[in-house]
Amino acid sequence: MATYTKLGSGSWRVQVRRKGRYISETFLRRDDARRWATEAERQVDRGETPSGSKTGRLKTFSDLIDLHIADMKEVGKAPGRSKDATLQMLKRRLGSVNMADLDRVQIVKFGRQRAIEGAGPTTVGIDVGVIKLVVQHAAAVHGLPVKVEPIDLARIALKRLGLVGHSLERDRRPTDEELEKLIAHFDSNPRQIIPMGRIIKFAVATAMRQEEICRITWSDLNSSTKMITIRDRKDPRQKKGNDHRIPLLAVSGYDALGLIEEQRTIRGNEDDRIFPYNHKSTSTVFTRAVKELAIEDLHFHDLRHEGTSRLFEAGFAIEQVSLVTGHKDWKMLRRYTHLKPEALHAMAAARAA
């Protein structure tokens, strides 16, 4: 049944609710609104998308992306930075394609081109997954005449071609010598404002991500219980409110709480953060030092891997390590576990004691 509302501008808004569908449109005259509503109800009864409506005017894949973004924002789930970047890339690459022409051939061609440009199997898989998400949204929420099956077929084809799949698990761990070289490099530089040597030790001691290190605050530190809370910790299932309390241990070769106490001497009055630095700047400085020291293929995130592995080498079980790293999926945690064979001697000695 249609509902008519006269707006302050003098125009008429008509809303049609029928068979679980909701559509609306605005007209200058009430008679035009009534005629559109009558035809819209007939089209809904036939299982069609009402022409002249907001969704009826959508033509391209770019339109579907905009519709998806607008709907998600409306329910308070706006795309995050990573997803939004993927959506904008898809608009540039496939946005002009008519939504009815987005078929298996188009998507396979897109996947091949992405691979040629250097995108790995995991990245291409994510891209195809987002394409499917946008099309599914248009079909399920708005009843638009788009099909998901060609996307699934394209994924199968790209998988057979080796262009979609899981990436190889990274197992790079810094050696003790590499860590010592990096720490000495930073500590010996009087012009180095960011205490990178201390941050490197803290990253290994806590297995924190660099953005988490630069976000933790004095207000969330409990020195007496040796605990600290990481606010809004990264979790693919929960974007906000994932606060996580972790113990500050001294089992990895570095004392996490002791390193924090060293920071008190440079604590600012206005910034409550323990390490009040931009995490992108720390990443840039780290990458530059790695290059200068000719250390091959080492990323800051590898320090999180190192810290996680040292927790296992200290004898902690997987469920105990997860209390530090924040992993809720223990299968995911296993990929960070690259133990050094030499560590078994110390573990065996500890058990025999």
Mean pLDDT calculated for residue range 90-105: 93
| Of 186 and 141, more confident | 186
Evaluate whether residue 55 is within a structural domain: no
Do 83 and 119 lie in one domain? The reply is yes
Whichever domain contains 214, its CATH number is 1.10.443.10
Please determine, for residue 201, whether its predicted confidence score (pLDDT) is greater than 90.
Answer: yes
Q: Higher-confidence residue: 40 or 158?
A: 158
* Nearest-angstrom CA–CA distance, 344 and 350: 10
Mean pLDDT to the nearest integer, 94-122: 93
Structural domain harbouring 201 = 176-352
Amino acid at 53: S
Chain center to CA of 100:
30
CA distance 14 to 28: 11
Give the pLDDT of residue 78: 87
User: In this structure, is residue 171 part of a structural domain?
Assistant: no
CA neighbor of 27 nearest in space, from 42, 18, 17, 38: 38
pLDDT band at 81 (very low <50, low <70, confident <90, very high): confident
Say whether both 82 and 182 belong to one domain. no
Q: Between 300 and 28, where is the model more confident?
A: 300
* CA gap 227, 132 in Å, rounded: 42
pLDDT per residue as tens digits for the range 271-289: 899 999 999 999 999 999 9
Return the beta strands (E) in the chain as ranges: 2-6, 12-18, 21-27, 221-222, 227-230, 244-247
Handedness of CA 267, 269, 271, 273 (dihedral sign): positive
- pLDDT tier at 53, thresholds 50, 70, 90: low
Q: Count CB neighbours of 49 within 10 A.
A: 19
pLDDT confidence of residue 51? 62
The residue count of the chain comes to 353
Per-range mean pLDDT, top range of 78-82, 97-101, 147-151, 235-239: 147-151
Please identify which residue in the block is written with the tokens 């576990």: 337
Q: What is the mean pLDDT of residues 61-83?
A: 88
Per-chain mean pLDDT for the chain: 87
Tell me the mean pLDDT in the region 71-92.
Answer: 89
Say whether both 181 and 269 belong to one domain: yes
pLDDT in tens, 210-263: 999 999 999 999 999 999 999 988 875 655 668 999 999 999 999 999 999 999
> Which of 39-48, 64-73, 117-126 comes out lowest in average pLDDT?
39-48
Instruction: Report the pLDDT averaged over residues 170-189.
Output: 93
Q: Is the pLDDT of residue 56 over 60?
A: no
Residue 200 contacts by C-beta under 8 Å, 6 or more apart in sequence? 179, 182, 183, 186, 286, 303
pLDDT band at 270 (very low <50, low <70, confident <90, very high): confident
**Mean pLDDT, residues 5-27:** 80
- pLDDT value of residue 280: 92
- Based on the fold, state whether residues 101 and 225 are members of the same structural domain: no
Query: 133 and 206 share a domain?
Result: no
Domain count for the chain: 3
Tell which of 132, 160, 188 closes a domain. Answer: 160
- 166: in domain: no
Residue 133 has pLDDT above 60, yes or no: yes
Would you say residue 200 has pLDDT above 80? yes
Highest mean pLDDT among 68-77, 151-160, 231-240, 333-342: 151-160
Same domain, 186 and 136: no
Distance of CA 337 to the CA centre of its chain: 22
Each as own residue / partner, the long-range contacts of residues 104-107 (CB below 8 Å, 24 or more positions apart, any chain) are: 104/150, 104/151, 104/153, 104/154, 104/157, 107/131, 107/150, 107/151, 107/154, 107/155, 107/158
Of residues 139 and 252, more confidently modeled:
252
Give the residue from 128, 160, 192 where a domain finishes. Answer: 160
Q: How far apart are CA 244 and CA 242, in angstroms?
A: 6
pLDDT tens for 328-341 read: 877 777 766 656 67
For position 16, what pLDDT does the model report? 87
- 322 versus 54: which is more confidently predicted? 322
Task: Establish if 53 belongs to a structural domain.
Answer: no
Asked whether the beta carbons of 100 and 146 are under 8 A apart, the reply is: yes
Query: 312 or 238, which is more confident?
Result: 312
Quote the pLDDT of residue 244: 93
pLDDT for 117 equals 93
Whether 253 and 165 have beta carbons less than 8 Å apart is answered as no
In the chain, the N- to C-terminal Cα span, in Å, equals: 79
Q: Are residues 12 and 70 in the same domain?
A: no
In terms of domains, do 189 and 335 share one?
A: yes
E-only strand ranges, 155-220: none
Q: What confidence score (pLDDT) does residue 308 get?
A: 92
Higher pLDDT, 19 or 199: 199
Q: Cα angle at 86 between 326 and 143, to 5 degrees?
A: 105
* Better-predicted residue by pLDDT, 299 or 237: 299
